[in-house]
Amino acid sequence: MNKQERVTFVINTLKELYPTIPIPLNHKDPYTLLIAVLLSAQCTDVRVNQITPLLFAKADNPYDMIKLSVEEIKEIIRPCGLSPMKSKGIHGLSHILIDKHGGKVPQSFEFLEELPAVGHKTASVLMSQAFGVPAFPVDTHIHRLMYRWNLTNGKNVVRTEKDAKRIFPKEIWNDLHLQIIWYGREYSPARGWDLEKDIITKTIGRKTVLEDYAKKYTSSK
């Protein structure tokens, strides 16, 4: 297959596997999504979805959030890891949303990335999932799969995002990045990877990746 045929194969396979696409993080509005995404740094979505109901029961908007102390937030979110940094970020960004944005999450990459603890990936998730603006947030799953599928050189997530935006149609970015995440979790994980179940990598995978897998599989028998 040439590159365009591989891209089409990825799109069609993912569409067939995930005709409806669940959002990984539970939320009810842009603010609760923002907090959930912030908590998901170096933490599983499953764990985040267990903790956010406890936090949101006390504060599901910036006005209630700033009534909590940083220490109170830290105690609630401790199971998500990095709680000192995340609790300060949540408290700080809630103040900024009230002071600068009328308590609303701004619909702008520029303003989102000015918030404490909010980087480009978090801003991209908000723009795509909360506001429907085309974006392509790159997490570890997407970074890994784009390399395995020989669609990027895999040097860094910035390069991977640029390549993804260049080769995939803009109108499907918001669905496609979620489909790739789900596929990575279910069929092409970093650990416990079974190539026989990973139809996309098995069909279009980078030659060196397939060779490395074959060596590892052969040596483990």
Catalytic residues: 121, 139
72: tokens are 């109170």
What whole-number distance in Å separates Cα of residue 204 and Cα of residue 83?
40
